[in-house]
Chains A and B, each alone.
Chain A
Amino acid sequence: DSGVTQTPKHLITATGQRVTLRCSPRSGDLSVYWYQQSLDQGLQFLIQYYNGEERAKGNILERFSAQQFPDLHSELNLSSLELGDSALYFCASGGGYEQYFGPGTRLTVT
């Protein structure tokens, strides 16, 4: 158990809909990272927050957004969903060099 929690584990939704993925980092970690894992793109960095502030953006679509709250949990919002958004979404946290990953949320868009 990495200490990083993600909910929900699975999400099935229709095209055009909006969903919210939630992540709680390990106790004491100020950084939260979001990654997307898909068969064609592999593991891609989406966005990072540090202590409530956006720190870095990667290959994140404009339809996607994230935030980190004062209690350090983070949410990834995905809107106007397309079939191609179906993927495994991971959250990770870290205070040192390595990052610790949550179990992921598997999103299926039908």
Chain B
Amino acid sequence: AQSVAQPEDQVNVAEGNPLTVKCTYSVSGNPYLFWYVQYPNRGLQFLLKYITGDNLVKGSYGFEAEFNKSQTSFHLKKPSALVSDSALYFCAVRDVTSNTGKLIFGQGTTLQVKP
């Protein structure tokens, strides 16, 4: 079965410091991976995706993610965190066992950026 794991419930970082939100995946075949962000009382916003190609993917709001096939990871990163980055972050994988495109989400990681 395909799955995604986000090992940290919460990540705390000081403003201006680099941040990393971790994600590991388990899929059969090539993974299609995504990061979404959810602000309080809002829907999920798409940040970036990895389908194929360069292992470093750049996305919205200065975020990037590094795909590592050997470690089956897709960690979200940002060189310098902002207080406004504080939110709930979800990693997801597209279900390729059924030709539907449905997403399988991790449990989410709360990012807290302190001034």
Contacts and interface: CB of A to CB of B under 8 A. Distances in A.
Interface of A: 2, 4, 31, 33, 35, 42-43, 45, 48, 55-56, 58, 90, 92, 94, 97-104
A98 B46 contact: yes
A98 B102 contact: no
Contacts of B104: 45
Contacts of A55: 100
Given A31-B101, A43-B90, A99-B46, 8 more contacts: A42-B108, A45-B103, A45-B104, A48-B101, A55-B100, A56-B98, A97-B49, A103-B43
A74 B67 CA distance: 35
Interface residues of B, number: 22
B8 to A, nearest CB: 15
Contacts of A43: 90, 105, 108
Given A45-B104, A56-B100, A99-B103, A2 B34 contact: no
Contacts of B101: 31, 33, 48, 94, 97, 99
Interface in B89-111: 90, 94, 98, 100-108
Contact of A98 (B34, B43, B98, B105): B34
A97 B43 contact: no
B43 A2 contact: yes
21 contacts: A2-B43, A2-B46, A33-B102, A33-B103, A42-B105, A43-B90, A45-B102, A48-B100, A48-B102, A90-B44, A92-B44, A97-B49, A97-B51, A98-B49, A99-B101, A99-B103, A100-B46, A101-B36, A101-B45, A103-B42, A103-B43
